């Protein structure tokens, strides 16, 4: 469970710890024993190497992501666009998760495994009707492309592993708080229970899909 210090990541960690069919679960975040900090991409490979003797893993879920920081909020208009925010969101939402797919792929059980990356419906190019949120949308669209591309390679090289982009729905969390998350979002416990139901029913043919918490396939 990568990103287990977050709201959704923490709820996933608890769900897996309470699931009798899950024999071992490891929570990873910026301050865990083996840590990942996307500000330091080398930490991704070091963490994967440190955990290599613990595997193979049947399920890896990555929930790391950012929407806003103390320095900036999502852009409302083109005039808000700036290089720093664009680069930062690409680094945390797309480059970090892609390198995590690369380095953690070696820890997955080649006989049967799933890797789920939390994306966001607002990263769908086809579904973009409202505009705004340039860097978050673009970083999640980039993440989606990286997932889709890796899934095509895995169909040849890791044919029993499904690689998925998943939308959690609007969840009451630190990330959604400035956008009335506590009013319009669901508790993370409900969202993770829904997503886990979808994960349990995934087939290897679903690899390379963008799937909502409800099981609905989303347009890229
Ligand atoms: N909440 C929603 O409504 C919603 C909707 C659509 C998609 N999502 C996606 O769901 C995922 C989880 O979001 P959430 O709502 O649970 O948000 P959250 O509570 O803010 O959790 C974000 C997680 O990302 C980690 N993180 C941020 N920057 C990092 C970095 N540089 N290196 C390593 N870890 C870093 C945080 O670690 P720290 O604890 O160390 O800060 C935390 O574990 C995100 O990918 C988000 O885009 C959420």
* Tens of pLDDT, residues 166-212: 999 999 999 998 988 788 899 999 999 999 999 999 998 999 999 99
Q: Determine the distance separating the centroid of ligand 1 and the alpha carbon of 162, expressed in angstroms.
A: 22
What is the third-level CATH fold of 7-212?
Rossmann fold (3.40.50)
Q: How many CB atoms lie within 10 A of CB 219?
A: 9
Atom of ligand 1 nearest to the CA of 188: 16
CA distances from 163 to 6, 168, 177 (A): 21, 16, 29
Q: Determine the distance separating the centroid of ligand 1 and the alpha carbon of 48, expressed in angstroms.
A: 20
Within 6 A (CB) of ligand 1 lie 3, 5-9, 29-30, 36-39, 63-66, 92, 118, 120, 167-168, 170-171, 173-176, 181, 185
Inter-residue contact 209 to 194 (CB < 8 Å): no
Which residue, judged by its Cα, is nearest atom 46 of ligand 1?
A: 65
Reported as a single tens digit per residue, the pLDDT across 107-163 is: 999 999 999 999 999 999 999 999 999 999 999 999 999 999 999 999 999 999 999
Distance CA 185, CA 191 (A): 9
CA distances from 202 to 53, 116, 162 (A): 26, 11, 8
Q: Determine the distance separating the centroid of ligand 1 and the alpha carbon of 210, expressed in angstroms.
A: 18
């Amino acid at each position: 469970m990568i990103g287990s210090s977050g709201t959704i990541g923490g709820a996933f960690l608890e769900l897996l710890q309470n699931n009798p069919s899950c024999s071992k679960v490891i929570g990873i975040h910026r301050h865990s024993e083996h840590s990942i900090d996307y500000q330091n991409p080398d930490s991704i490979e070091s963490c994967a190497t440190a955990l290599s003797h613990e595997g193979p893993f049947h399920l890896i879920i990555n929930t790391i992501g950012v929407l806003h920081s103390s320095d900036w909020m999502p852009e409302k208009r083109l005039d808000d666009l700036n290089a720093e925010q664009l680069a930062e969101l690409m680094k945390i939402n797309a480059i970090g998760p892609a390198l995590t797919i690369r380095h953690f792929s070696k820890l997955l059980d080649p006989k049967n495994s799933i890797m789920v990356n939390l994306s966001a419906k607002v990263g769908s190019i086809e579904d973009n009707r409202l505009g705004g949120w340039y860097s978050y949308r673009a970083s999640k669209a980039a993440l989606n492309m990286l997932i889709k591309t890796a899934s095509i390679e895995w169909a040849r090289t890791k044919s029993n592993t499904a690689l998925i982009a998943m939308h959690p729905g609007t969840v009451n969390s630190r990330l959604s708080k400035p956008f009335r998350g506590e009013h319009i979002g669901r508790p993370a416990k409900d969202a993770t229970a829904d997503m886990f139901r979808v994960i349990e029913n995934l087939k290897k043919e679903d690899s390379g899909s963008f799937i909502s918490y409800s099981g609905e396939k989303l347009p890229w």
